Copies of this chain bind each other. A is one copy, B any other.
């Protein structure tokens, strides 16, 4: 069971008129917890702050979030911390109240029980039918409007399929339901641009920074299904899983992990800050 703090108090229920429920009016972050400490804290907080600026939600004091996260994560050897920040309670109607008081919801969960071979030897993935809509105003944000991901993740039951890739409505490959995607071809690293849809993952940024530091050529742009078919390596990233090589997608086998994937996975693992 989850341990939960709502605005700093142990609780597990929230005002039904909270705009997070009524409109998905809020943001979230999902962090890996190791040895009692949330990983990549600064990067997650920076993304939350960026989301707050874009949605016009007041960012809570970082010290307060850090304190609350610390209380929940103390003694947790391996787990997941989820931070949800909503615009807070409000009456009926889309208009944000002038005096909105954001709701902070922090919860810790046990670490997911993914088989260790997912990270070591790769995963099988599929292509989802559900497409990502295009909306530059919300692109990149980890906001609470996640019906597209819910519908995509509902498409398959097979336990040996670890992730589904989503295209946008124009057929560009964008990301997994819960992860970002990277492709390697001829020694170059490529990841879909996220200016029109998708989530700008913290682990994605971490991998991109690492590639830059190592002098690996990196391109952020449009990727089509034909590009995936021609790729030497594919891998998926998020803050909880780290890096998962893709060993099979859409009837095609890939080296898993390929050499560049292995190098980047080792680097982000070592640099986990």
Contact = CB atoms under 8 A, between A and B. Distances in A.
A133 B96 CA distance: 20
Given A4-B16, A15-B12, A147 B24 contact: yes
A105 interface: yes
A205 interface: no
Most chain B beta-carbon contacts within 10 A, residue among A17, A87, A178: A17
B80 A92 contact: yes
B4 A146 contact: no
A143 interface: yes
A37 to B, nearest CB: 19
A40 to B, nearest CB: 18
Most chain B beta-carbon contacts within 10 A, residue among A18, A23, A56, A169: A23
Given A13-B15, A105-B16, A178 B94 contact: yes
A112 B92 CA distance: 9
Contacts of A17: 2, 12, 107
B145 A135 contact: no
A136 interface: yes
A134 B132 CA distance: 9
Given A17-B2, A84-B21, A107-B16, A55 B147 contact: yes
Contacts of A115: none
A146 B18 contact: no
Contacts of A148: 135, 137-138
A94 B177 contact: yes
Given A94-B178, A137-B151, A169-B134, A146 B15 contact: no
A18 B21 contact: yes
A25 B147 contact: yes
A130 interface: yes
A238 to B, nearest CB: 12
A30 B177 CA distance: 31
A19 interface: yes
A259 to B, nearest CB: 31
Interface of A: 2, 4, 6, 11-25, 28, 30, 55-56, 80, 82, 84, 86-87, 91-96, 105, 107, 109, 112, 130-138, 143-154, 169, 177-178, 197
23 contacts: A11-B16, A12-B15, A12-B16, A13-B14, A13-B16, A21-B144, A22-B28, A22-B146, A23-B147, A24-B24, A25-B146, A25-B147, A55-B147, A55-B151, A91-B109, A92-B109, A94-B149, A96-B153, A130-B137, A132-B135, A134-B135, A134-B169, A138-B147
